[in-house]
Amino acid sequence: MISVYSIGALIIAYLFGSIPTAVWIGQAFYGIDVREYGSGNAGATNTFRVLGKKAGIPVMLIDIFKGWTATNLAFFIGLSVTGPEHSVQYVNYQLALGIVAVMGHLFPIFAGFRGGKGIATLFGMILAVHFPAALLCVLVFVIVLLLTKYVSLSSISAGFTFTFSVIFIYQVSVRAIVIYGMAICILILVTHQKNIERLLRGKESKVNLFKKKQIQS
């Protein structure tokens, strides 16, 4: 049921997602706009690529927290609005809030609607909705990153892992989560189109996890 509380929560979720972490950290500590370098995206992946792990890790963690917090507004605004915790109505509302937060990250009102690709914020949403699947995504992300040093490929692999796990491993019965998992795959393919093209051509930038990164144009 649509109410003042639910509409307010959706607005807050969008504003949470709109916090341009990569842009603000890049400007505050490095004096640059990360959108003018690398892939041109205001997200954790491009921050790792352009500024290295000292900037990339905080950006990634904050972007994850954005998605987790926005999704959990379903609990913070009161179960009387969303129904019993973990009910279908509650989970549906969580998904709605998380999706709005991801849209905020993609099109942030605080940064001229030029955002990132939403993977970290998506992961924060997954943490709130299905914690075991989120842990499996982390495992896949870390393994792929250590083996390939491609953040983009690691993100893509982790995103597809969520869909696979909720359908085949955890066999989630909530239809909305399954549909959401499929939507994640589509979103990843759309937002990472250029990355996929560079990966196929062997021109995607790698992240050096142990050395200081110099800014690249």
Q: Taking 90 as the threshold, does the pLDDT of residue 76 lie above it?
A: no
Assigned domain for 50 exists: yes
Domain of residue 172: give its range: 4-201
Query: What pLDDT is stored for residue 86 in this prediction?
Result: 62
Per-residue pLDDT band for 2 (boundaries 50, 70, 90) equals: low
Assigned domain for 117 exists: yes
Distance CA 152, CA 156 (A): 6
Assigned domain for 102 exists: yes
Assigned domain for 206 exists: no
Assigned domain for 74 exists: yes
Model confidence pLDDT, tens digit, residues 78-122 = 655 556 666 778 888 889 999 999 999 999 999 999 999 998 999
Burial of 75 (0-12, 13-18, 19+ CB in 10 A): middle
Supply the angle between the helices 88-106 and 119-129 in degrees, to the nearest 10: 170
Overall number of domains in the chain: 1
Assigned domain for 59 exists: yes
Model confidence pLDDT, tens digit, residues 150-201 = 888 998 999 999 999 999 999 888 888 889 899 889 988 898 898 899 999 9
Model confidence pLDDT, tens digit, residues 6-58 = 888 899 999 999 999 999 999 999 999 999 998 888 998 889 888 988 999 99
**pTM score > 0.75 for this model?**
yes
Of 136, 116, 123, give the one whose Cα is nearest residue 69. 123
| Cβ 108 vs Cβ 114: under 8 Å | yes
Distance CA 155, CA 56 (A): 14
Q: Taking 50 as the threshold, does the pLDDT of residue 217 lie above it?
A: no
The distance of Cα 23 from the centroid of its chain, to the nearest Å, equals: 16
Query: What pLDDT is stored for residue 33 in this prediction?
Result: 95
Query: What pLDDT is stored for residue 214 in this prediction?
Result: 52
- DSSP assignment of 193-211, as one string? HHHHHHHHHT-PPP--SSS
